[in-house]
Chain A
Amino acid sequence: MFRIALLCLLAATGLFAQKFGVGKAASPDEIAALDIAVSPDGKGLPPGQGTAAEGAKVYETQCRECHGPEGKGGDETGFIGTPADLKGDKPKKTVGSYWPYATTLWDYINRAMPFVRPGTLTDDQVYSVTAYILHLNGIVGENDTLNAETLPKVEMPNRNGFVPDPRPDVK
């Protein structure tokens, strides 16, 4: 009886099927505490929401210092543009001209911004700043609500601009 109980315990903790058995079972809470990965289909996006109108206010206090007013200035590439900016001698890679997925913008702001205090924005603030930057590019309306459902549906202008690696391409 005890042996069966032990086996059940081992199976439940995940140790049973490990060859070396040195890993510990990760609980749902332990995973949730670290799992911030987001997919283009929206998997991983948390509850919460925001609009560009709200994002403009967050931007003033959290982003403007480095990125300039309305995303113009500060950063060397900036946020605003269209895929037409990618051709010619001095192509400009911006959120509007280059980024293929809106979820990437949410994920990057969530992970890495503001630069000197990453990870301090609330989920609502991340949604709203994402909406603001997309709005500056004319991709979403000022009062469009972005959340886990609507954000993955945003179509980025350069969505189809990427091709697989054809190398070796020079012989």
Chain B
Amino acid sequence: MKDASSRRGFLALTTSLGAALASCGGGDGGAPAEAPSRLGKPVSSYGERSRFSAERRFIAPTKTPEQAASLTPLQDSEGVITPSALHFERHHSGIPDLDPSVHELLLHGLVERPLRFSMDALKRMPSVSVIRFVECSGNSRSEWSKPAPTAQMSSGMASCSEWTGVPLRTVLDEAGLKPEAKWLICEGADACRMARSLPIEKALDDCLLVYGQNGEALRPEQGYPLRLLVPGWEGNINVKWLRVLKATAGPSETRDETSKYTDLMPDGSSRQFTFAMEAKSVITTPSGGQALPGPGFLEIRGLAWSGRGLIEKVEVSVDGGSTWEVAQLQEPRFPKAFTRFRLPWSWSGAETTIQSRATDETGYIQPTVQELVAVRGTESSYHNNGVKAWKVLADGSVTNV
């Protein structure tokens, strides 16, 4: 009985917190009470979420809807998996409508045996499933100069899925790489045939030819029916709608690895082939745009990830960076995957600043934005993994700093 009542108390607490934290709750008060005498909806062939669940991607304003991006609502995320329907998007010429019964992967160039693989053929090969994040290297671009007001706006070009596919190495072995093959030019079947050059060492390491996402087929906006997964590396090289792989001696120097996705330094030079996404974290609860219901207990929650492996530690400061506490990490952890961290907190009601910093298995500690700027200036655009702070005001509202 005691358990039951404490459980009810817990539920009441979380419900009120949830309602208070919701930044845009409909709140018409017309939600029907449980009505056991009335039959509910019948079974369905493909489920829909509750009509009270309103999380959605934010569509960044661009000149055209096809050359565009949408951002994951990290502040509403639970656990470490991003629902496929909320995975961030970045397309350069729209989402192609590809029929898997005719779609093929061509592997050619510096190989012994140029090969074509139908989707059915690929799926016959030994496959694996891994949980890995994908992050656009332009994520947190706003943070160089004007910090964004919500976790979605500041950090939402990162998502995490369970991906299922065939190790790229398996397919390369089928074709037989020639010794002089050092790069793999990877090209999509979107209208602009977007292409990136992938170093062969990475191609032979942990890349996957992915056809499954979170227990079902890839979503069209994630590359249906086939995409490349390059774990821990910037999103753009995870080529979607993958159609052609060409083994070459050198990189193709495509537009997206020269004029874009290169990092301009204050001296006018630019860093190229900056592939790895370095360790990063963001507090999702409480985060910008939310509101605390009042002083008292609240579990701080957030996400941490590193393109170089496992997250080893996340520290949280609730006093503007004066002191740091080690947060609890949700197990099991996976390398190059979202890791959920949690820290119990009792808010005094006073204005304060909260922030998190991640350490990965290489010992690398997530820097502050100021530390990044000191080395890279403010015009490098990409690869901003600086600490993200939120200000909690005395009235409980949470804003960016």
Contact = CB atoms under 8 A, between A and B. Distances in A.
Given A35-B108, A115-B67, A91 B372 contact: no
A161 B268 contact: yes
B244 A35 contact: yes
A164 to B, nearest CB: 7
B272 A165 contact: yes
B187 A100 contact: no
A38 interface: yes
Contact of A38 (B194, B252, B278): B252
A13 to B, nearest CB: 9
Contact of B258 (A20, A31, A104, A170): A104
B262 A34 contact: no
B121 to A, nearest CB: 4
B15 interface: no
A164 B372 CA distance: 18
Interface string A11-48: 00010011110111110001100111111110000000
A138 B258 CA distance: 21
Contacts of A89: 379
Interface stretch (A1-9, A52-60, A105-113, A125-133): A105-113
B124 A20 contact: yes
Contact of A108 (B255, B273, B275, B362): B255
Contacts of B92: 112
B270 A161 contact: yes
A37 B278 contact: no
A23 B375 contact: no
Contact of B113 (A17, A91, A101, A166): A17
**Size bin of chain B's contact surface:** 35 or more
A111 B259 contact: no
Contact of B274 (A87, A111, A165): A165
B193 A23 contact: no
B367 A170 contact: yes
A37 B348 CA distance: 61
B269 A163 contact: yes
Nearest to A113: B192
Nearest to B124: A22
Nearest to B249: A39
Given A108-B254, A162-B269, A170-B367, A99 B259 contact: yes
Given A40-B253, A101-B258, A169-B376, 8 more contacts: A17-B113, A26-B115, A31-B108, A40-B250, A83-B268, A104-B254, A111-B255, A163-B272
Interface of A: 14, 17-20, 22-26, 30-31, 34-41, 83, 86-87, 89, 91, 93, 95, 98-101, 103-104, 107-108, 111-112, 115, 118-119, 161-171
18 contacts: A14-B112, A18-B115, A23-B113, A23-B116, A23-B121, A26-B116, A31-B106, A34-B106, A39-B250, A40-B252, A87-B266, A108-B254, A112-B92, A112-B191, A118-B193, A161-B269, A164-B272, A165-B276
